[in-house]
Structure 1
Amino acid sequence: MKKIVLFLVATSLLSCESHQLNDSFILFSEAQPADVDEITHFPQKYIGEYSFDATHKIMIQSKYIILKDIDSLEMTKKELDSIKTAELKGNKVLDKETGKLYDVRFKGDTICWEMANLDTIFSFDEGEVAKLFKQSIILNKEQENGVQVSCINFKGLKGKYIQLGTKKDYNYLKSKLKTNPTIIKENGDTTNVVLTFSRGDFRRLLRQEGWEFETSFFK
């Protein structure tokens, strides 16, 4: 029964977007860094798949950046047959709700397979701007009150994916840099701070560490 519940939970999770900082407290008045040209595709040297851990990855393609989450599942044929939304078809498991087929392997009486969720987080769509700066890919997305910024920083075969940023990040940033933000309020509460940065300001921001949504990866 536990495995059946796990399958249903996994299917539910895989139908949702990967965990992202969608409601950023920190916004910028323009795409960052200022006075740096936009790019129209990602250079070949950055293209590839990078791992946060065994089941969470980030894929950089010429025109897309995709988060990949993998969930490994195991259950007996009897347990699988009791799930109305799934069916074993030869060497594959069919998810009847999505129509997706998953390759399986057999370990004795146990059926094993992996479910992967692909979440495109950047695609050069309208309102999306990418720039290269200091061995980093800077991703900009227009929001209602400003521009949300994320960074993919590279150091050899390792790096960090940073999403800017939370209120905690801003309080940390205030102690390091002069910010002078525009304050956005709703019903008396501050919902966003909008920063106007020079290229030098943004370079100093990239040197900071310990962001709340900061994840290391390796190739």
Structure 2
Amino acid sequence: MITHIEQLMLEHFRNVPFHNLNLLFSGLGENKIPGGTCSDKTLTFLADARDIGANAYLHTAYIGGKEIHRLVRINVDGRSFYADIGNGWPALRLFPADEAISFECFGMKYRTEVNNEWVLVFHEKQGRESLQMEINTIPRSDREIFAQINSRYSSGIQYPFSNSLRFSLIVGGAFLFLRGNQLERYSKSGFTAKELDEQDIPKAIQKEFGFDVSSFFLLKNSRLKSI
């Protein structure tokens, strides 16, 4: 089952982008873009994991000391694993609740530490490691987490991506991450970054990621002109 789940994770990281278009543009776009923020991606993955027979549940994690991140918990043979499928970064392996692991992908490194009821996840890119999130292994009910998800944009919580565009996906042999107007490319061969003019961002997303997001920007601009 672990192999099947991690294969499903890879498929999602290749086909279901992390983005905050709906948050930034309040659903202005005419084209429905799959994926979204961590909650959107996690719910999609949860349904697919259950479809292949996984014992899967919602779970949460802390970023910067705040419980604002969603995961999928997979129970296999009495052990718990966490799929961080909603992350903007490509965490391609399941994180065990009872064992520290490490792995590399696209020139980045992940490692975990297990301390009592906590799993600490560290992420290294461009030679700099940081604590990415903290997972409390004590489960909460899906109902509680669903309630958090439903109120995530009306609760006053400020997310790291609340005011700046995000779009990320595995494309070919690289991981692409658009942050604001900077397009970052991570791969085994290295890291590159390119600054984009704001008016070129929709075309860049179409070209690099294969998604047409032009309607979001067109409707945003038309509303601004009418003010």
**TM bucket normalised to smaller:** under 0.3
TM-score, normalized by length of structure 1?
0.26
Which of the two has greater helix per residue? 2
TM-score, normalized by length of structure 2?
0.25
Larger radius of gyration: 1
